[in-house]
Every structure is written in C-alpha cells, then in structure tokens.
Structure 1
Amino acid sequence: MRTAYLEGRSIAALARDHSVSRGAIRTAVADLLPDHAAAAEDSPAPELPVTLDMPGKVADFLLAAELELAERAALDQGVTARRGQGYTLRVSAVPAVHLRLLTRCQPLDGGPGTPAIPAQRKARREYENRVIALTPTGP
C-alpha cells in the first residue's frame, strides 16, 4: 500500500482497492504525507547562535574554569576586541550555552567566605543583562 502511494496512487483509489476508509489509508501512509512535515513543525525549532559581548573579566574567569565541551568551544572561538584598559570577548553560541556560562560565573558575585571584587561583580552583571535580554523569560 505504501509503495502504491509512493508510485502516485491516490488515497481514495487505495481505499477502494483495500475496502477500507480513506482515514485508514492516511494513517498507514501518514509519514509519507506532505501535511506530516507540518505536524513535525510543532516541535521546538533548533536554537540559532546568538553573538554577545562578554566582558574580559568574566571571560578570564570562565577560561580558567572547568567547562563543558560546547561552552569551551564557544569561548575558544570568541573574537577578542580591545576596550580601553580591558577587552571584550565576542562569543557566538546558542542561548542555552550563554545561560550555562552565566551560571558558571556566579562566584564572581562573591559568597560566604569569598569577597566579591566590585569590577568582577559589575562585569558579571553586564553579561547577565545581555543574556537576559535575549531570553524572553530570563534565567
């Protein structure tokens, strides 16, 4: 039946030949129907890479940290731009990677037993604002 459908037989003709309803034929050849591709579009679309500027203080911290393969690759492929006394790393990655990088640089805010360095805290906040701007719900 599937072969006949692929050879150009209509659903109605196949239903008559096999004495079943057209719905039964549609079910049998569902993955071959053009409308089937539209149903697959309900699944989430793949995320596209987004380019964000990461302050150098955040990049330095993350480059010294243990990262997953995708995170490390995103940082390694980043482009450095000099900015005054420091630099900015232009990182291109999917939003999920940016969110994971943001999570990994939380220690820059300081915590129990570790003092926060104001410049690092400010740099992390700047990166956080950029990441939040690209996600509709935020982290």
Structure 2
Amino acid sequence: MPGKIADYLRTTELEPAERTALDQGVAVRRGQGYTLRVTAVPAVHRQLLARCQPLDGGHGVPAVPAQCKARCEYEHRVSTLTP
C-alpha cells in the first residue's frame, strides 16, 4: 500500500484486524516516499480501501491530487487480488 494511504489510515479508527495488519506492515523506501507491505487477506485490504474514500474529496473536503493517485494505485492493487 502506498505510504500516503498508510499515513492516513494510522489517523483513523480501524477494526482490530485492520489495525494489526497495518501495524505489522513493513515499510519499503520508494523514491521520495515509501510503500507499506501489508500481509492480510483480501477482505481486510478491501475494508482498508473503503476507509480511504475520503481521500478522493467530497463532503466539502478538497481532494489532494497525490492522495487521490495513491488511493487509485491501492485500489488497482486490491482489485487484482483473488476473492
């Protein structure tokens, strides 16, 4: 998962399984940012992705292009997982 997504999720309330997966992730440096390698079942990844929806803006909150791109990248990665 992109680092911008991980940073956002760390500031939100998560279910115990989601928090555990996030806490056990391994950070890997990539260019200016990082990627968090999270080992979890696809259902947990889909739950985490659902919690990232506010990054796309809406409800009077402006969208930050870098966060939107990170969420889209994560969505693409999650969509390739088998159910």
Query: After the TM superposition, which residues 46-125 of structure 1 pair with which residues of structure 2 at under 5 Å, given as runs?
Result: 54-125=1-72
Gaps of at least 5 residues in structure 1 are 1-53
Query: After the TM superposition, which residues 123-138 of structure 1 pair with which residues of structure 2 at under 5 Å, given as runs?
Result: 123-135=70-82
AA of the residue aligned to 1:117: V
Which structure is larger by alpha-carbon Rg, 1 or 2?
Answer: 1
AA of the residue aligned to 1:130: R
The CA RMSD over aligned residues, in Å, is 0.9
Q: TM-score, normalised by structure 1?
A: 0.58
Q: TM-score, normalised by structure 2?
A: 0.97
Relative contact order: is structure 1 or structure 2 higher (C-alpha 8 Å, sep ≥ 6)? Answer: 2
- Between the two proteins, the alignment pairs up a number of residues equal to 83
Identity within the alignment, %: 75
Deviation above 2 Å: which 4+ runs of structure 1?
Answer: none
Quote how far apart the aligned CAs of 1:135 are.
3.5
Query: 3-state SS of the aligned residue for 2:34?
Result: strand
Quote how far apart the aligned CAs of 1:62 are.
0.3
Quote how far apart the aligned CAs of 1:112 are.
2.5
